[in-house]
Amino acid sequence: MLEWLMLAFWLALVVYAFWFLFKAKTEHPIGLNDLALTWKIHKQNTGCKAKRIQSLITLNNETVGFRCECGYEFIQKRLISQKAPDYSVKKLTNY
């Protein structure tokens, strides 16, 4: 009985680790250049006739996606284990 319990525990641990590393996603901020490029690619691939983005999707005062006038919705999602790019403005110093 103890062997079956240990096997079930290890199996659950392996399944959870697989999910955490390869499936679990969170929303990440998207830069304005990436946002514009994603919208342009959406328009080219779907033949969308929209003239502008309907609204920006924000989370914690950061832009994570957009809604198009045609009804398309994009949200930037990355794996939990993936490092997000840093969009902060860095101060340049002269030496």
Per-residue pLDDT for 45 more than 70?
Answer: yes
Look at strands 53-59 and 77-79 and give their pairing: unpaired
For residue 14, CA distances in Å to 4, 5, 9, 21 come to: 15, 14, 9, 11
Q: Taking residues 40-50, report their average pLDDT.
A: 91
pLDDT single digits (tens) 50-75: 888 889 999 888 899 999 989 899 99
pLDDT single digits (tens) 6-19: 999 999 999 999 88
**Confidence class for position 90, pLDDT limits 50, 70, 90:** low
CA dihedral 22, 24, 29, 31 (to 10 degrees): 30
pLDDT of res. 38 = 92
